[in-house]
């Protein structure tokens, strides 16, 4: 798939290829792309599964408002339906070669299983990551890292310099992943999490536009794509897909 992507980008115009690389990242595991309104029902379900205590303050209607908020940006990780994956890639190639919009058609997107999402808000030159969530059956498969990478990449392309986030003090695995991407501890928010009054560790990347960060980030991105190219794809039978989607 990565080889095919490179061939198509080579044949496309530089402008089209640049837009493609800015919007989507395709790995063996799943496709990471900007969130669309058709994704709201599944994002709502993932959010409530991952953050049950905090989700009490986020009614379904709030997700539509987020999509209209120019400061809010979301990326999703998705797996196409076993019955529709060929259709999605044919449609994607057709849109690319004809210069049309790169987002999948609504009918195709409705047959994708979202396995995770990430969101951030932009305030001046800061991007604050507010959530990274992965469906429980798909955790520990590199999807969370793909979402983080995609969110940072999108934030950098939106000309932010500072990227920040909070993480539970007890979540050492996540903290290790954040450090890998250049986050450093800059503070603590006492009793930040409402479910158990746990402290939050505040972490940040100071300059995502800097040459040093961009060089290291490009290496990380290449490593993720190389590992994912060798990874076993998420495979769902049509029946299992329909059950998960429900």
Is 181 domain-assigned? no
Residue 180 lies in a domain: no
Considering its fold, how many domains does the chain have in total? Answer: 1
> Could you tell me if residue 193 is inside a domain?
no
In the annotation, is 166 catalytic?
yes
Give residue 25's pLDDT band: very low, low, confident or very high (50, 70, 90): low
Q: Identify whether the C-beta of residue 132 lies closer than 8 Å to the C-beta of residue 116.
A: yes
Q: Taking the C-alpha atoms of 82, 87, 88 and 90 in order, what is their torsion angle to the nearest 10 degrees?
A: 140
DSSP 116: E
Is the distance from CB of 228 to CB of 141 less than 8 angstroms? no
Strands (E), the chain: 25-26, 31-34, 72-80, 112-123, 126-134, 162-168, 184-189, 200-205
Provide the pLDDT for residue 29: 63
Q: With the C-alpha atoms ordered 162, 203, 228, 85, is the resulting torsion angle positive or negative?
A: negative
User: For residue 176, is it within any domain?
Assistant: no
Nearest to 116 by CA among 183, 39, 6, 224: 39
Q: Which domain holds residue 6?
A: 2-161+207-234
Residue 71, φ and ψ in degrees, nearest 5: -90, -10
Beta bridge pairs of residue 183 = none
For residues 98-113, average pLDDT: 54
Q: What is the pTM of this model?
A: 0.73
Stated length of the chain: 246
66, 112, 166, 228: the active-site residue: 166
Cβ within 8 Å of residue 101, ≥6 positions away = 95
Neighbouring-strand partners of residue 25: 32
Number of alpha carbons in the 13 Å side-chain half-sphere of residue 17 = 10
For residue 187, being part of any structural domain is answered with: no
Is there a contact between 48 and 135 (Cβ–Cβ < 8 Å)? no
For residue 245, is it within any domain?
A: no
User: Is residue 150 a part of any domain in this protein?
Assistant: yes
Here the CATH number for the domain that contains residue 100 is 3.40.630.30
Q: Does 201 map to a domain?
A: no
Dihedral sign for Cα atoms in the order 173, 117, 56, 200: positive
8-state DSSP, 55: G
CB atoms near residue 27 (< 10 Å): 22
Per-residue pLDDT of 117-159, as tens digits, reads: 999 999 999 999 999 999 998 888 889 999 999 999 999 999 9
Which residue among the candidates 63, 74, 138, 178 is catalytic per the annotation? 178
- Decide if 63 is catalytic: no
Give per-residue pLDDT as tens, 58-104. Answer: 888 899 999 999 999 999 998 876 554 454 445 444 544 555 444 54
């Amino acid at each position: 798939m990565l080889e095919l992507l490179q061939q198509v980008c080579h044949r496309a115009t530089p402008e089209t290829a640049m837009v493609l690389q800015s919007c989507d990242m395709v790995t063996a595991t799943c496709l990471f792309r900007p969130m669309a309104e058709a994704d709201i029902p599944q994002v709502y379900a993932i959010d409530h599964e991952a953050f049950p205590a905090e989700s009490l303050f986020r009614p379904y209607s709030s997700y539509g408002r987020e999509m209209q908020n120019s400061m809010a940006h979301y990326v999703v990780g998705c797996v196409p339906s076993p019955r529709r994956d060929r259709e999605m890639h044919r449609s994607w190639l057709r849109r690319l070669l004809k210069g049309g919009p790169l987002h999948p058609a609504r009918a195709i997107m409705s047959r994708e299983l979202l396995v995770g999402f990430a969101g951030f808000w932009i305030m001046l030159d800061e991007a604050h990551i507010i959530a990274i969530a992965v469906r429980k059956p798909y955790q520990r498969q590199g999807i969370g890292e793909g979402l983080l990478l995609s969110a940072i990449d999108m934030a950098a392309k939106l000309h932010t310099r500072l990227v920040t986030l909070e993480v539970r003090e007890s979540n050492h695995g996540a903290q290790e992943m954040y450090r890998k991407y250049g986050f450093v501890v800059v503070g603590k928010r006492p009793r930040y999490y409402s479910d158990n009054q746990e402290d939050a560790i505040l972490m940040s990347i100071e300059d995502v536009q800097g040459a040093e960060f961009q060089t290291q980030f490009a290496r990380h991105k290449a490593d993720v794509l190389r590992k994912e190219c060798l990874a076993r794809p998420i495979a769902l039978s049509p029946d299992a897909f329909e059950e998960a989607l429900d």
